[in-house]
Structure 1
Amino acid sequence: MNKYINYSKSNGIATITLQRSLAYNSLNHEMAIDFQRALDKAGAESDVRVVVITGTGKAFCAGQDLNEMVGPKAPSIKTVLTNNHDPIVRKIRSIKKPVIAAVNGVAAGAGAVFALACDLVIATESSSFIQAFSNIGLTPGSGSTHFLPRLVGIQKAMAILLLGEKISATEAERIGMIYKWVKDETYENEVHQLALHLSQLPAHSLMLTKMALNQSWSNDLENQISLENDFKCMAGESDDYHEGINAFFTKRKPQFNKHKTHYQDSTTQPLPPVRPLFPTKNKVDSNFSMVS
């Protein structure tokens, strides 16, 4: 994309790499805008099924470059949030494909929020997370107070944000803030294998599952059950579902994603007629059960 953002693509996996390592991948305006463009690109490209966000050097992202915030031409805090940080979080959340934060070092300030906005966070053992806004007289931003309580509970979130303490990767996994930590020496392979595995799963089903989980944060039980029913019917209409069922009965590995997944389709469109849950050409084993 530019000197600060690298965008690469392989085997259905788009990797967005923050590469301002001398500044611990802290964001200036130019870098933030190109980060947003990379997210738009990953979300729009139909051959991309998984997005990985990572950094170079010793940091994932150290948040805002404070050097940009001083001097007579410094932008206002509101300008930086509105134009630089908040759109990144919104774009990460709106991508209908699994988004992995591959945290390779410190994730601080807005950088920590970017990681927590992702669907899965995998971090090296030496990584750490810190949101020390209180240490410089600021308050959390870009959704920090939205994500943290939902991930770790209100008490732990309160402690993390009020005290500004560094959270190790091992502690972050223990309290449910991230998916998992891995040894530094196996990190790259673990990230690749995770992304590759996701890319081989049925993209349409993953998209609907992600959307359902995101909606669960604001839905009550009845609305969530209704949404799940709608999404399950939509998934039941997909070629991937029928491929999965046929593969089960013929005892072979399913070959998903042979047809284009319409990531931009609106889920508010009328649902198509629902086919039977099991293809009629297959005889169902009386001992077979499916956990829904």
Structure 2
Amino acid sequence: MEQDHQTQLIVTKADGICTMTLNRPHVLNAMTVEMFSLLQDAIAKASTDEEVDVLLLRGAGGNFCSGADLGVLTALTDQSDADQSLTIINDFIANLHQMPKPVIAVIEGVAVGAGLNLALHADFVIATEDALLQEPFVQIGLTTDFGGTYLLPRLVGTAWAKRLALLGERITGKKAEEIGLIYRAVEASQVESELEKLVTAVRRLPKQAYAVTKEGLGRCQIEGLEYALDWEKQQQPSLIARPEFQTLVQAKVKRT
């Protein structure tokens, strides 16, 4: 197992799983500018690391993330500092969202504001049933960030997006699953077993097909049906030509 100990971000790599753990538990893992830079570097490395099959996002100390540190928000009043910090944020969020590999986030405790939106860029979010999720930006005079304005309507529709982003409604992990915001909510004692099952499932899938399909879900949702049909027309033949397609089809035929 490889381990890179950083004060604010712990990155470990073992058995094809790269785990990035936000590590400021004394402030519920509130993110700093330094943490943004560490995430930027770690995500970029994981995306091209052939030894990494799955990226896992977690928080230390029983919480995922309480959002951006207040010091960060204060610093953003300076235009030059704001441009630099927001550019770093946008870079690593875009890389995370477009990561061709499976990305899983585990929410325990609180996931608030930017912390929640960071998790929502994962392909799958597992949360404890009693976890607390909230988008409180408007309540403190800000707008949703970390791509939340893009994510929320697509995940839960306009009505729930407005409840979350405009009213700052706080919901549990259980409710988040019910409205389609996350993949699954489980009892705290079941988190690790649920995570293990999901990791096993995604690692069984053909990597190229997963990456292409994930890309398509993102692109075609924005561009519309005609674009989607054309995109699928371009991608499917190359996937059909790959050896794993023939192998998997033959195996499926034998089982039926």
Assess same fold via TM > 0.5.
Answer: yes
**Corresponding position: 1:226 with 2:230:** yes
1:236, CA displacement in angstroms?
Answer: 0.8
2:120 is matched with which residue: 116, 121, 129? 116
Please say which of residues 9-18 and 95-104 is displaced more in the overlay. Answer: 9-18
Contact 1:173 1:181 in 2 (8 A): yes
**Corresponding position: 1:199 with 2:203:** yes
**2:63 matched to which residue of 1?**
59
1:74, CA displacement in angstroms?
Answer: 7.2
Provide the rounded CA distance (Å) in 2 between the counterparts of 1:158 and 1:181: 22
State how many pairs are aligned.
Answer: 251
Provide the rounded CA distance (Å) in 1 between the counterparts of 2:144 and 2:84: 14
- Pick closer, same or farther for the CA change 1:148–1:68 going to 2, 3 Å: closer
Provide the rounded CA distance (Å) in 2 between the counterparts of 1:69 and 1:229: 45
Contact 1:68 1:74 in 2 (8 A): no
1:105, CA displacement in angstroms?
Answer: 2.0
**1:267 matched to which residue of 2?**
none
Identity %: 32
- Encode CA deviations 1:114-155: one digit per residue, 9 max, x unaligned: 111111111111212111112211111221111101111111
Provide the rounded CA distance (Å) in 1 between the counterparts of 2:63 and 2:89: 18
Provide the rounded CA distance (Å) in 2 between the counterparts of 1:75 and 1:57: 32
**Corresponding position: 1:100 with 2:104:** yes
TM-score of the two chains, using structure 1 as the length reference: 0.80
**1:33 matched to which residue of 2?**
37
**2:220 matched to which residue of 1?**
216
RMSD across aligned positions (CA):
2.0
**Corresponding position: 1:138 with 2:139:** no
Provide the rounded CA distance (Å) in 2 between the counterparts of 1:196 and 1:15: 15
1:62, CA displacement in angstroms?
Answer: 1.3
What are the ranges of 5 or more consecutive residues in structure 1 without an aligned counterpart? 252-287
SS of structure 2 residue aligned to 1:153 = helix
Contact 1:85 1:110 in 2 (8 A): no
1:220, CA displacement in angstroms?
Answer: 2.1
**Corresponding position: 1:47 with 2:45:** no
1:78, CA displacement in angstroms?
Answer: 3.0
Please say which of residues 73-82 and 229-238 is displaced more in the overlay. Answer: 73-82
SS of structure 1 residue aligned to 2:222 = coil
1:211, CA displacement in angstroms?
Answer: 0.8
1:148 is aligned with what amino acid?
L
- Pick closer, same or farther for the CA change 1:6–1:91 going to 2, 3 Å: same
1:227, CA displacement in angstroms?
Answer: 1.2
1:68, CA displacement in angstroms?
Answer: 4.0
- Encode CA deviations 1:215-237: one digit per residue, 9 max, x unaligned: 12212212211211222212111
1:111, CA displacement in angstroms?
Answer: 0.8
SS of structure 2 residue aligned to 1:39 = helix
What are the ranges of 5 or more consecutive residues in structure 2 without an aligned counterpart? none
More helix by share: 2
1:85, CA displacement in angstroms?
Answer: 2.6
- Pick closer, same or farther for the CA change 1:18–1:107 going to 2, 3 Å: same
**1:186 matched to which residue of 2?**
190
- Pick closer, same or farther for the CA change 1:188–1:169 going to 2, 3 Å: same
Contact 2:65 2:111 in 1 (8 A): yes
Provide the rounded CA distance (Å) in 2 between the counterparts of 1:12 and 1:170: 30
**2:251 matched to which residue of 1?**
247
- Structure 1 or 2, whichever has the larger Rg, is 1
2:18 is aligned with what amino acid?
A
Provide the rounded CA distance (Å) in 1 between the counterparts of 2:45 and 2:90: 18
1:195, CA displacement in angstroms?
Answer: 1.3
- Encode CA deviations 1:37-70: one digit per residue, 9 max, x unaligned: 1111110111222111111113211111103444
